[in-house]
Structure 1
Amino acid sequence: MSVEIGQPVADFSATATGNTSVTLSELRGKQVVIYFYPKASTPGCTTEGGDFRDRKPAFDAANTVILGVSRDGLRAQENFKAKQDFNFDLISDKDENVCTLFDVIKLKKMYGKEHLGIERSTFLIDKEGKLAQEWRGVKVPGHADEVLAAAEKLNAAS
């Protein structure tokens, strides 16, 4: 059972950077962008995270929290966040609970071998905790701008 547009997203709690835990229901009243990336400190994921970092003031103005999620351990996430100066938290989803909720674990091919990995995906959740928009199979260039535009439009409408 994965998330559907217009439907409430099931509540979850997950371990995040900064010695914190993120609980979706505690973010009600704010919009939430959750973006899933394959692996910390890889080129595409670094670029994507940087794009969200650089736009965080605009996301803040649109009443929107940014959360990055991968299957990396907490230490890798902390290092990635510190090295890239990310101004938002990263969730360590080693047990894949959050990935499973959003159905982002897909069969991927790399160097001719198949493996299960995270399909780069982003989800925009409204202030009531319902899924407002989703992007799957994301290409990094221009993506953060597209998500920001959607967050601003959703915030203006509510």
Structure 2
Amino acid sequence: MKIGDKLPNIKLEATGEQSINLAKIKGQKVVVYFYPKDSTPGCTTEGQNFRDLFSEFESHNCIIFGVSRDSIKSHERFKEKQAFPFDLLSDPDEALCKAFDVIKLKKMYGKEYLGVERSTFLFDEKGKLAHEWRKVRVKGHVDEVLEAVSQL
């Protein structure tokens, strides 16, 4: 995935008993943020930050999707508990994760494993990638994304 690329034609199960194909979204800016795991501290904070600024994103004709490898059941609990006004996409087979190249070798407690690298992608109204953030640090990130949305 590089600047100018189109949203991939991949359909995923989403919260709210729906399936979403990002490639079918037209006429709106789209933020797709990848996070490692539901209900973990960093992922919760990031989701809350998107939640708290959701109306600002909406005012710029922008929708938000959070993506992780967690199940829909896990996503539904996470979304409800945190009152997220946006949908979460379940990618257990890593199809979307691989399309965006966010599966990376990580280390925890000296052990290596493949995991989701926290990353955010902003697409314009024509479905083309306009901005990307990789190796995201949560603090201040959502403000940065909102600023980029407002500039599009």
Q: Choose from 95, 99, 102 the match for 1:101.
A: 99
Give secondary structure in 2 for the equivalent of 1:60.
helix
Aligned ranges for residues 1-158 of structure 1 at < 5 Å? 3-154=1-152
Distance 2:55 2:142 in 1: 13
Work out the CA distance in 1 between the residues paired with 2:141 and 2:100. Answer: 18
SS of 2:151's equivalent in the other structure is: helix
Give the letter aligned to residue 106 of structure 2: K
Tell me the distance in 2 between the aligned counterparts of 1:27 and 1:139: 28
| Structure 1 unaligned blocks of 5 or more | none
CA contact (8 A) 2:6 2:23 kept: no
SS in 2 for 1:47: helix
Aligned-pair identity in percent equals 58
CA RMSD of aligned residues (A): 0.7
Q: Counterparts of 1:25 and 1:36 in 2: how far apart (Å)?
A: 17
**How many equivalent residue pairs?**
152
TM-score by length of 2: 0.98
What is the SS of the residue equivalent to 1:82?
helix
More deviation, 26-35/132-141: 26-35
Q: Within 1, Cα distance between the matches of 2:121 and 2:69? A: 17
> Are 2:29 and 2:149, in contact at CA under 8 Å, matched by a contact in 1?
yes
**TM-score w.r.t. length of structure 1:** 0.94
After the TM superposition, list the runs of 4 or more consecutive aligned residues in structure 1 that deviate by more than 3 angstroms.
Answer: none
Structure 2's unaligned 5+ residue stretches are none
